[in-house]
A and B are shown apart, each in its own frame.
Chain A
């Protein structure tokens, strides 16, 4: 469980170009919950994520992960990183080792685990991201395809076995097939055990389909916090923040405005089809 309380962060404080990046952000994400974060570019999403695993320190406010206060200066960062795994945007750009197995082992090694434990975790996490461990372990990460590289990078974070897994736009720049593969992988990882997963995405269809709860960031503030149905019902507000509806919600909203009697907020195309079929009967 991760509890964020009154988080405020200011970049370049006391300089002429100081900027409030986060203002009084509070929320909690429970064990096993799948939380989506949406927001326009510059709304503070990335700043928020970097606070969640201690890369940035807030000006005020606290973050408590399973009872551990990670904003406390005395807290060991290794402990924090054991609990919270962060997959950056375009994570494949952080690969550096000679072989895939060595690269995935980088994180567990930094945690100071035993060699057997490291080997076991490397094997498990490479398999967990849908790659063939024996075929790929001795390959150079640089001879893989873009989608495979990204899986290896994600495996590198999963191998640290965090209680909370955060992914910043894990599907950015991938083709539709690789996009779907990565999404399936993320939902698969969420399905095993009782992990909290936090996903940042610009793709409203994905967010609507897979998240239990959606946080909306706007100008450094937490503007909304609710189930996908609650959030995507506030069409006007979202659009004023430069955000869009999922395709299904957009279609049904337009049909409603055109006079069709659809009241339900539809999150997926299947739901929308069902609702439309009901009205047309």
Chain B
């Protein structure tokens, strides 16, 4: 059923990683991604891999879940590997017609592959261990210094929160509309592409109308409770940095230092 689709996948838990301040996790993830691009030798990836492995073990997120997040991007990874393997010039190892594999090509392909996998798993650890609300609060807090430059940090975060909040609602709505049209004899499974595309109209029109109706109701409900953007708004759950976050930040600094040292002294 359409309701079984999981999006913005959060894996509920109460591990040390789950309890970290979202701001720390977001910054660490961003820096981790930068670090992956700083690394230019395979030995650097060992450090990055060990760090990620440690996070996965502490977070207690089952590997099955992490694997599931990787699946949709496998195709992109495979594509990158092939392009790198065949397109890079150098010492030829194998040749057939215009296709050739070089030593440099293989090395770069493996390098890119590892980088991509670490990048995707690394960033999915952020969403797996942070509630969507925590994520948006964190983004808002991190963007708020830019408010002075005219960046609508609160509004952006609110838009994200609302979008995430309404994914399940809209899926449920879609499910209902599909069933209602099926009850009227609609057929979504047979015919050529054009016919199938046309068959979507009876779903899409009511879905858009529902989306507008829901948005209007929500806007009205927010106004009725005097919502006025970020002006003088306080929160029920203030984010607070604790000793846990300090420890995490220190550990992460050690990781960054290792990566930089490795780049400087082994380069």
User: Which A positions have Cβ atoms within 8 angstroms of B?
Assistant: 12, 50, 53, 55, 77-78, 81, 85-86, 88, 91, 93-96, 106-107, 110-111, 142, 156-157, 160
**19 A-B residue contacts at CB 8 Å?**
A50-B179, A55-B179, A81-B183, A85-B183, A86-B183, A88-B176, A88-B183, A91-B180, A93-B177, A93-B206, A94-B177, A94-B181, A94-B202, A106-B184, A106-B202, A107-B184, A110-B184, A110-B185, A142-B209
A78 touches B185 (CB 8 A): yes
Please tell me if B144 contacts chain A, counting CB pairs below 8 Å: no
Task: Specify which chain A residues have a CB less than 8 angstroms from the CB of B177 in the assembled complex.
Answer: 93-94
Shortest Cβ-Cβ A-B pairs, 10 listed = A110-B185, A96-B205, A107-B184, A94-B180, A86-B183, A88-B180, A81-B185, A96-B202, A55-B179, A96-B206
Identity of the chain B residue whose Cβ is nearest the Cβ of A49 in the assembled complex: B183
Task: Specify which chain B residues have a CB less than 8 angstroms from the CB of A53 in the assembled complex.
Answer: 183
Number of interface residues of B (CB under 8 A): 18
With contacts A55-B179, A91-B180, A95-B206 taken as known, whether A107 is within 8 angstroms of B185 at the C-beta atoms is yes
Main SS class of interface, A: helix
A158 to B183, CA, bound (A): 12
Please tell me if B182 contacts chain A, counting CB pairs below 8 Å: yes
Task: Specify which chain A residues have a CB less than 8 angstroms from the CB of B180 in the assembled complex.
Answer: 88, 91, 93-94
B248 smallest CB distance to A (angstroms):
31
B210 touches A111 (CB 8 A): no
Identity of the chain B residue whose Cβ is nearest the Cβ of A108 in the assembled complex: B185
B215 smallest CB distance to A (angstroms):
15
A107 to B180, CA, bound (A): 11
A113 smallest CB distance to B (angstroms):
10
Between B4, B179, B210, the greatest number of chain A beta carbons within 10 A of the residue's beta carbon is seen for: B179
Please tell me if B120 contacts chain A, counting CB pairs below 8 Å: no
Beyond contacts A50-B179, A55-B182, A88-B180: 11 other A-B pairs, Cβ-Cβ < 8 A, are A55-B183, A78-B187, A81-B182, A81-B185, A88-B176, A93-B176, A93-B177, A93-B210, A94-B202, A96-B202, A106-B185
A111 to B176, CA, bound (A): 21
Task: Specify which chain A residues have a CB less than 8 angstroms from the CB of B179 in the assembled complex.
Answer: 50, 55, 88
Which one of B4, B187, B205, B210 contacts A110 once the chains associate, using CB atoms below 8 Å? B187
Task: Specify which chain B residues have a CB less than 8 angstroms from the CB of A81 in the assembled complex.
Answer: 182-185
Please tell me if B222 contacts chain A, counting CB pairs below 8 Å: no
B143 smallest CB distance to A (angstroms):
36
Task: Specify which chain B residues have a CB less than 8 angstroms from the CB of A160 in the assembled complex.
Answer: 184-185
Between A12, A78, A93, A111, the greatest number of chain B beta carbons within 10 A of the residue's beta carbon is seen for: A93
Task: Specify which chain A residues have a CB less than 8 angstroms from the CB of B236 in the assembled complex.
Answer: none
A204 to B256, CA, bound (A): 69
With contacts A88-B176, A96-B202 taken as known, whether A111 is within 8 angstroms of B185 at the C-beta atoms is yes
B186 touches A110 (CB 8 A): yes
Which one of B182, B183, B184, B209 contacts A93 once the chains associate, using CB atoms below 8 Å? B209
Please tell me if B7 contacts chain A, counting CB pairs below 8 Å: no
